[in-house]
Structure 1
Amino acid sequence: MTVFGYARVSTADQDLTVQQDALKAAGCETIRAEKVSGSTTKGRTELAVLRDFMRNGDTLVVTRIDRLARSIGDLQDIVRSLKEQGVALRATEQPIDTSTAAGKAFLDMLGVFAEFETNLRRERQLEGIAQAKVRGVYKGRKPTVDVAKVRELQAAGMGPTAIAEKLQIGRASVYRVLNTRTARRHNTDANSGNQKRSAAEIERDAKLGLID
């Protein structure tokens, strides 16, 4: 049975010392640390090493549960994986210890509150968008496609695929811009043709004496 520690900060300028000292004081024999965002488990190589290395009966210790995961989904996945391995999870600053019934219950409560907070945040965001739309100030997401640049590159002789590669956007986005431009040009030509035909018709009717 081995006690492993995991420390994490989000940015390179943050210090890991406080977490590492707390983990040493908690009896961790091996400590892995990394400076990477906790918004996802992707790219977190040190955590992956621990999860691969730990065995039945081992314990993983963190200072706080948000050092392990920043979303309820990731936390649940990690806890489920540790449980399948027979590894207990413990936090030094929170009453979390999945080897005990009370610790498991507290972890479950944290998950419920985190999900509740996420739902509230989403509701507040939707309410804010609705109010902004009523006031006429909601602009939505900024466009990710530089329409002017697409047209400039097309005018320079580049095809849709080359434009997409150069601007690092999808070809579908390029086609949408080009098709919109083509449709507008056709509409303009059609309107111009209608005006010309109308003038011709007026002149014909005048010659026939149908109009003054």
Structure 2
Amino acid sequence: MLVGYARTSTLDQKAGLEGQKRELNEAGCDRLFIEQVSSVDVRERHKLAEALSYVREGDTLVVTKLDRLARSVAHLLEILDTLTDRGAALRILNMNLDTSTPTGKFMLTMLGGVAEFEREIMLERQREGIAKAKAKGKYKGRKPTARAKAEEVLQMYREGVGGTEIAKRLEIGRASVYRILDEAKGEA
């Protein structure tokens, strides 16, 4: 059985998710596990955990791209170990790679290392660029969206609305709501 897994980092990436679903269906996947969550916090990837639990001996977990599955080589190898223990394989469509063969496993490990190295280089360049822009006074960071809604947060709180609900209604993080409330208490 072919089991598909699709993931995007944010809810805004609807087109990317639809494209992954289409590719997985075209590849012949019988079952799809789909989620919209960042790959950084692997503990929050419930659908990946479900997919890994679902696969059985002889099954193949299918993803469109390596970065949809794992963020690091260590995580990739952990996933591969889980699949191997279950007698299952991994197929990555855009690389035409299948770990049911020794060559496929070897190539995946090598390519995973290259992908991780490439990501680290990109992040290093990004940090350098931000540091240079800050030094020139051209980088201000993103606009503080939650702080701009501080009055609304305080008003809703005074009306008895809870922090989680405030965050949902104003589309800001829960931590931001509580930070605003704590600062308001400190000023009082």
TM range (shorter): 0.5 to 0.7
- What is the deviation of 1:97? 2.6
Q: 1:38 to 1:22 in 2, by over 3 A?
A: farther
Aligned to 2:64: 64
Tell me, yes or no, if structure 1 residue 158 matches structure 2 residue 162.
no
Unpaired segments of 5 or more residues in structure 1?
Answer: 24-29, 183-212
Give the match's secondary structure for 1:89: strand
**Equivalent pairs: percent with the same residue?**
27
The structure, 1 or 2, with the larger RCO (C-alpha pairs under 8 Å, 6+ apart) is 2
User: Which residue type is aligned with residue 54 of structure 1?
Assistant: V
Tell me, yes or no, if structure 1 residue 14 matches structure 2 residue 18.
yes
Q: How does 1:1-212 map to 2 (within 5 A)?
A: 3-6=1-4, 8=6, 11=14, 14=18, 16-23=21-28, 31-33=30-32, 36-37=35-36, 39-40=38-39, 42=44, 45=47, 50-56=51-57, 58-62=58-62, 64-66=64-66, 69=69, 71-72=71-72, 75-143=76-144, 144-146=146-148, 149=151, 153=155, 158=158, 164=163, 167-168=166-167, 169-179=176-186, 181=187
Give the match's secondary structure for 1:14: helix
TM-score for the superposition, normalised by structure 2? 0.64
Matches of 1:76 and 1:118 in 2, distance apart? Answer: 17
Q: 1:94 to 1:66 in 2, by over 3 A?
A: same
Q: 1:4 to 1:174 in 2, by over 3 A?
A: same
TM-score for the superposition, normalised by structure 1? 0.58
Pick the structure with greater CA Rg. 1
Deviations 1:110-134 (A, max 9, x none): 2111111211121111111111111
Q: 1:63 to 1:75 in 2, by over 3 A?
A: same
2:6/2:32 contact within 8 Å kept: yes
Matches of 1:165 and 1:22 in 2, distance apart? Answer: 41
2:60/2:90 contact within 8 Å kept: yes
Matches of 1:17 and 1:167 in 2, distance apart? Answer: 36
Q: 1:7 to 1:172 in 2, by over 3 A?
A: closer
CA RMSD of the aligned region, Å? 3.9
Q: 1:149 to 1:115 in 2, by over 3 A?
A: same
